[in-house]
Chains A and B, each alone.
Chain A
């Protein structure tokens, strides 16, 4: 019984197995190249490299599961980043000068902005009856414009303590970034996945008409999904603020493309209804760590996109070929069975 259950579990999660295999290879290469890999600095640097994309991928995964796509996530991250970098000190001063109180207040405000932005996307999709790709393409531009309005020039004032807190270690051992990832998993993904709204994600993405026939609240579920995507973008914005200690509205960023790639790499189907955050995490880690590997090998980071693209194609081909050979085998069996008759 237990054995069979394991088998079914593996079957259900077969897609992310590939991603975790690739990730294992990448980590081994890291261990071989990074001198301090096995010290406390190793995990810290690795998690600092992957955390932003991991969080961005959570939001993207949720949207992709509904068979939508979020093209605004990159610009929303930049926008929230700019807001955080700009309001941090003014908020701190208004609240009495403590950078802890100011930091908490800033985070709350930024997260709220993110949720509202996501909710706006959701409303356009649900009530405007527009396609997610069109809506988020447009709102992405809007967020980018708002970022420039908030922060016409790159900069901002972020205390170094804030940066150290989010990129450092707890008790000098455990990387903060890893804790944040755990929090994202245990406070956002799992409760959401195990709620009716989470179950609705899969139903809507799998077959929206069937979901409707089953009495699923489609509009509400989508609004929740987009709000959570907005929240994740904002968290990512906060982390980016801590990492860069500034806000740059003109910064080039690959979050939109990479978050989609991470979800797909992790086994999500862009047609919806299939995928899991655990897969996306592996995808996000691979895509982020590749950059580090290129640096170890002395390859210019100009080729980062090229390598990421090739990895994506290769990983997806594995799925394609397994399916291809499976079908071929089944066909051969059907023919053989018939001849036996």
Chain B
């Protein structure tokens, strides 16, 4: 058995044919409304291996692991564990099969202690159903010590740092002593030391105890350290599985991205050489943004890159007055301004298209028209009374300009597809006549066709005098549209890339903090 495990671990193909996978999925399909999240996809993970799932955002990796741990219900397909077909329909089912997961979004209860969270729904009880809290704290203490985490089990989760919360989340999964451990972007909030701790732990689990780990991360250097085998997903489909080390990085990237279509024909707007639309000097905010210096040229699309959670979203929100900068100066069209709230930002011609379309961008139950005019009510009213005529005009213009496919602007926005919803958000923002547009991940979860439309729209806007700050989690978009890209790392601008420097490789190196800043003081 041990020999087989080692072979499996080394990713040796011959051994595996005779081995039964620890966990296997086949022909899995899943749709969310109109969006296909998984299409006949599969994967296999053997005992003793760390299996990494790779692919772009939205390629289906997360959906796959969420189906395995019963969080998301699959539309079709089968799951096998050690050759036996199993049925997983809920988190409890997954737990019964010894599958445990750590997700990027935390699932901790803020007002319970660390130990209470670790034991949640599995508390030790006496005969009368009374939870033995002393035992919870003692056991948690012993367990945290055993796995080498320096955390006080009595502290409330609310009082922990994000990094510590993620460690608790990992400890919680480990405590279940799972056969299959799923780590979905579980390292995103961890520091270097903690990541090393986790990798040692993973090594112990797979190589010494013969467990299986499914690992998702966007950091290539992490994958290199832990991966035994890898499965690539692209556009909701399974592409291939290979033992790690068999493919060069370039080949992997090629498989991840597929053949890029004719999109590359877009010309990148370079912007004006002389006029600056927006400038930040030494701007800092709390613990998330440090000493930012940036210039947005008039008529340019300034790309903001980096791994998620390194300050990009905070920057865009701060520029829209949603949480003011603590220090630093802001200039709009050369004039120094303050951005204390959203109305102030709007009055200086800055508008934000937020990343969370459904919660921040739209009021789903209200009509398309009402959503479009939400930000420009003043301009469509006569002394405080809304003018139906002006309103209709604005809505009709917006629907036509954005080519929103809809029978009537009176339908609720919630009835539209993701792509069309996003168009409504953009239309709403443009109706304010603000000329500086902050786009925060505008193409998340929308179809390819609409994405392309949005790219063309952005290019066109720059010609009409708009200036755009464009944050995207999809690197290909930045490469396509931006002549200049700022890469964020830990709340700082790690690098400013321009022209030919804007390449996938440069952005990745800078965003994982290994490039050494080109823009440091």
Q: What are the residues of chain B within 8 A of A209 when measuring CB–CB?
A: 107
In angstroms, Cα B154 to Cα A231, docked, is: 32
Q: What are the residues of chain B within 8 A of A274 when measuring CB–CB?
A: 111
In angstroms, Cα B133 to Cα A335, docked, is: 41
Known: A191-B128, A335-B284. 9 other contacts (CB 8 A): A11-B156, A195-B125, A195-B131, A196-B125, A196-B129, A206-B109, A274-B111, A334-B287, A338-B326
CB pair A273 B327 closer than 8 Å: no
**Cβ-defined partner of A191 (8 Å) among B121, B123, B130:** B130
Question: Which of B89-97, B265-273, B310-318 lines the interface with chain A?
Answer: B89-97
CB pair A334 B111 closer than 8 Å: no
* Residues A295-341 near B (CB distance < 8 A): 331, 334-335, 338-339
* Residues B104-141 near A (CB distance < 8 A): 106-113, 116, 120-121, 123, 125, 128-131, 133
CB pair B107 A199 closer than 8 Å: no
**Cβ-defined partner of A206 (8 Å) among B91, B110, B128:** B110
**Cβ-defined partner of B326 (8 Å) among A12, A195, A202, A334:** A334
* Residues B317-358 near A (CB distance < 8 A): 326-327
* Residues B142-156 near A (CB distance < 8 A): 152, 154-156
| Number of A-B residue pairs at CB separation under 8 A | 88
CB pair A335 B326 closer than 8 Å: yes
CB pair B91 A195 closer than 8 Å: no
**B351 CB, min distance to chain A CBs, angstroms:** 26
List A residues at the B interface (Cβ < 8 Å). 4-5, 8, 11-12, 191, 194-196, 198-200, 202-203, 206-207, 209-216, 273-274, 331, 334-335, 338-339
Q: What are the residues of chain B within 8 A of A331 when measuring CB–CB?
A: 286, 326
In angstroms, Cα B111 to Cα A91, docked, is: 47
* Residues B63-113 near A (CB distance < 8 A): 71, 90-92, 95, 103, 106-113
Q: What are the residues of chain B within 8 A of A194 when measuring CB–CB?
A: 130-131, 133
In angstroms, Cα B133 to Cα A274, docked, is: 18
In angstroms, Cα B152 to Cα A334, docked, is: 25
Known: A195-B130, A196-B125. A203 touches B109 (CB 8 A): yes
Known: A191-B130, A195-B130. A211 touches B109 (CB 8 A): yes
CB pair B156 A202 closer than 8 Å: no
In angstroms, Cα B284 to Cα A178, docked, is: 57
List B residues at the A interface (Cβ < 8 Å). 71, 90-92, 95, 103, 106-113, 116, 120-121, 123, 125, 128-131, 133, 152, 154-156, 159, 284, 286-287, 290, 326-327
**Cβ-defined partner of B290 (8 Å) among A4, A191, A213, A338:** A338
**B132 CB, min distance to chain A CBs, angstroms:** 9
Q: What are the residues of chain B within 8 A of A215 when measuring CB–CB?
A: 90-92, 95, 121
B101 (CB) vs chain A CBs: closest residue: A213
**B356 CB, min distance to chain A CBs, angstroms:** 15
CB pair A335 B327 closer than 8 Å: yes
Known: A214-B120, A335-B327. A11 touches B284 (CB 8 A): no
Q: What are the residues of chain A within 8 A of B108 when measuring CB–CB?
A: 207, 210
In angstroms, Cα B141 to Cα A4, docked, is: 15
CB pair B112 A202 closer than 8 Å: yes
Closest 10 A/B residue pairs (Cβ) = A210-B107, A206-B109, A215-B91, A213-B107, A215-B92, A214-B120, A216-B121, A215-B121, A203-B109, A274-B111
Residue with the greatest number of chain A CB neighbours at <10 A, chosen from B120, B155, B159, B284:
B120
CB pair A338 B125 closer than 8 Å: no
A5 (CB) vs chain B CBs: closest residue: B154
In angstroms, Cα B91 to Cα A196, docked, is: 17
Q: What are the residues of chain A within 8 A of B109 when measuring CB–CB?
A: 202-203, 206-207, 210-211, 273
9 contacts between A and B (CB under 8 A): A8-B155, A11-B156, A196-B121, A210-B107, A211-B109, A211-B120, A215-B90, A331-B286, A334-B287
In angstroms, Cα B340 to Cα A197, docked, is: 45
Give the interface SS of chain A, mostly helix, strand, loop or mixed. Answer: helix
**Cβ-defined partner of B91 (8 Å) among A4, A5, A212:** A212
B287 (CB) vs chain A CBs: closest residue: A334
B91 (CB) vs chain A CBs: closest residue: A215
In angstroms, Cα B114 to Cα A16, docked, is: 21
Q: What are the residues of chain B within 8 A of A206 when measuring CB–CB?
A: 109-112
In angstroms, Cα B326 to Cα A273, docked, is: 32
Known: A11-B159, A331-B326. A202 touches B111 (CB 8 A): yes
Q: What are the residues of chain A within 8 A of B110 when measuring CB–CB?
A: 206-207, 273
In angstroms, Cα B285 to Cα A322, docked, is: 22
In angstroms, Cα B286 to Cα A207, docked, is: 26
Q: What are the residues of chain A within 8 A of B125 when measuring CB–CB?
A: 195-196
B285 (CB) vs chain A CBs: closest residue: A334
CB pair B131 A196 closer than 8 Å: yes
In angstroms, Cα B291 to Cα A335, docked, is: 11
**B419 CB, min distance to chain A CBs, angstroms:** 26
In angstroms, Cα B120 to Cα A200, docked, is: 8
In angstroms, Cα B71 to Cα A79, docked, is: 43
**A328 CB, min distance to chain B CBs, angstroms:** 12
**A209 CB, min distance to chain B CBs, angstroms:** 7
CB pair B120 A199 closer than 8 Å: yes
CB pair A8 B130 closer than 8 Å: no
In angstroms, Cα B110 to Cα A211, docked, is: 11
CB pair A203 B120 closer than 8 Å: yes
B94 (CB) vs chain A CBs: closest residue: A215
A272 (CB) vs chain B CBs: closest residue: B111
Q: What are the residues of chain A within 8 A of B290 when measuring CB–CB?
A: 338
Q: What are the residues of chain A within 8 A of B120 when measuring CB–CB?
A: 199, 203, 211, 214, 216
In angstroms, Cα B95 to Cα A202, docked, is: 21
Q: What are the residues of chain A within 8 A of B71 when measuring CB–CB?
A: 213
CB pair B286 A12 closer than 8 Å: no
**A234 CB, min distance to chain B CBs, angstroms:** 22
**Cβ-defined partner of B286 (8 Å) among A8, A213, A216, A334:** A334
B126 (CB) vs chain A CBs: closest residue: A194
In angstroms, Cα B292 to Cα A338, docked, is: 13
Q: What are the residues of chain A within 8 A of B106 when measuring CB–CB?
A: 210
In angstroms, Cα B110 to Cα A203, docked, is: 9
CB pair B154 A8 closer than 8 Å: yes
Q: What are the residues of chain B within 8 A of A198 when measuring CB–CB?
A: 131
Q: What are the residues of chain A within 8 A of B156 when measuring CB–CB?
A: 8, 11-12
B133 (CB) vs chain A CBs: closest residue: A194
In angstroms, Cα B95 to Cα A194, docked, is: 23
Q: What are the residues of chain B within 8 A of A334 when measuring CB–CB?
A: 286-287, 326
**B74 CB, min distance to chain A CBs, angstroms:** 17
Q: What are the residues of chain A within 8 A of B326 when measuring CB–CB?
A: 331, 334-335, 338
In angstroms, Cα B133 to Cα A5, docked, is: 14
Q: What are the residues of chain B within 8 A of A199 when measuring CB–CB?
A: 112, 116, 120-121, 123, 131
Residue with the greatest number of chain B CB neighbours at <10 A, chosen from A12, A198, A213:
A213
Q: What are the residues of chain A within 8 A of B287 when measuring CB–CB?
A: 334
**A210 CB, min distance to chain B CBs, angstroms:** 4
Q: What are the residues of chain A within 8 A of B123 when measuring CB–CB?
A: 196, 199
**A181 CB, min distance to chain B CBs, angstroms:** 21
In angstroms, Cα B108 to Cα A104, docked, is: 45
Q: What are the residues of chain A within 8 A of B103 when measuring CB–CB?
A: 213
In angstroms, Cα B326 to Cα A211, docked, is: 36
In angstroms, Cα B71 to Cα A216, docked, is: 13
CB pair B284 A214 closer than 8 Å: no
In angstroms, Cα B115 to Cα A12, docked, is: 14
